[in-house]
Amino acid sequence: MFELNKLLRPHIADLKPYSSAKDEYTGGYGIFLDANENALGSASSTTHNRYPDPYQKEVKTKIAALKGVDVSNIFLGNGSDDIIDLLFRVLCRPEKDNIIIMPPTFGMYQVAADVNTIEYRVAPLTDKFELQADKVLEQVDENTKMIFVCTPNNPTGNDLSTQEINKIIENFEGIVVVDEAYADFTTQESYINHLEQYPNVVVLQTFSKAWGMAELRLGMAFASSDIIHVLNKVKMPYNINGITQKIALDALENANKKEDMVAALIEERKRLEAILPTLDVVQHVYPSDANFLLVKVEDANDIYQKLMDKKVIVRNISKAPGCEGCLRISVGTAEENAVLLDVLRD
């Protein structure tokens, strides 16, 4: 049985959060003399003298409509990275608890574990980068708080099997973090649609990839309102700045532009998937459900450096387990991809 209160670090379960007057007043216009802001205005040419909405209600209302969830199921952070760290801080007792990751996968899970002095256990994907639920569940003990499932997976690009993910969720009493940073590029159904069925799931999505807003640093978590409530208690009071909130609102009103860009990027990816295998230096292009490709080449270190010399920067991930000789290449514009292909041809 999943019981959130038993999973939380005891002092977090008991935490009384910081409260601002802006939490208590919801009457719209007012004379705000509560927060020691500068009532005269800002030194900058645009106005920023008031603290922003601590719970980002307008932004969340738009996200809720788009995703078909309730506002109470949404948490926003300073990028998904920030939310990952926050999950560690509310759930994991330093030097006592552990989490499980399935390499090769996103590096931040391990870094966040290290920062918080939490043991990470590994249950590697197969050589075809497939998830084996049984191998993951074997690693679980009474101090396992989280399992991180990244789908489509970074750096491999493939969707992980829904069946295997469900098996993990259904047989683990801790939190399963399903990182869907690349959800917009895949046809796999989002776990956002299964939050009621799975109270132990936290879905991560981000404005950094498909939305094209990496500079903003805005990440989303979707989960039960109980989990969201705990994250709200622990977050910094004004964790999402006002400019970010305004720009996010603007983007959410133009979701069709995001859809168009996603379609164009997938087209370009398919073009690269067709051309790359015909090049002499390329040994294998792994199937991708994301906006990047994992490409096995003759000599990854050498090709990485030669691309860099021509000002084409890719990610050398040949040291990641199971990724020997591999580069991870983001899909660029048609022009950028043409330069990439030219350099690889040489």
Ligand X SMILES: *Cc1c(COP(=O)(O)O)cnc(C)c1O
Query: Applying CB under 6 A, which residues contact ligand X?
Result: 79-81, 106, 150, 154, 179, 181, 206, 208-209, 214, 219
Query: Minimum Å distance from CB 250 to ligand X?
Result: 18
Strands 119-122 and 98-101: parallel
Pairing outcome for strands 326-330 and 201-206: unpaired
Q: Which is nearer to ligand X, 172 or 207 (CB)?
A: 207
Return the ∠ at Cα 241 (arms to 207 and 60), rounded to 5°.
Answer: 55
> Which CB sits closer to ligand X, 207 or 304?
207
CA distances from 314 to 139, 214, 217, 330 (A): 34, 17, 22, 7
Comparing CB distances to ligand X, the nearer of 149 and 312 is 149
Q: Rounded to the nearest whole angstrom, what is the least distance from the CB of residue 312 to ligand X in the complex?
A: 20
Report the residue closest to ligand X, judged by CB. 79
* Token pair of 270 as six digits: 């398919």
Q: Residue 87 CB, nearest distance to ligand X (Å)?
A: 13
Among residues 225 and 330, whose Cβ is nearest to ligand X? 330
- Helix axis angle for 79-91 and 108-115, nearest 10°, is 40
CB of 305 to ligand X, least distance (A): 24
Report, in Å, the least distance between residue 105 CB and ligand X. Answer: 7
**Which spans in the chain are helix H?**
4-7, 10-13, 21-24, 57-67, 79-91, 108-115, 133-138, 162-170, 225-234, 242-252, 255-275, 300-309, 334-345
- Nearer to ligand X among residue 104 and residue 174 (C-beta): 104
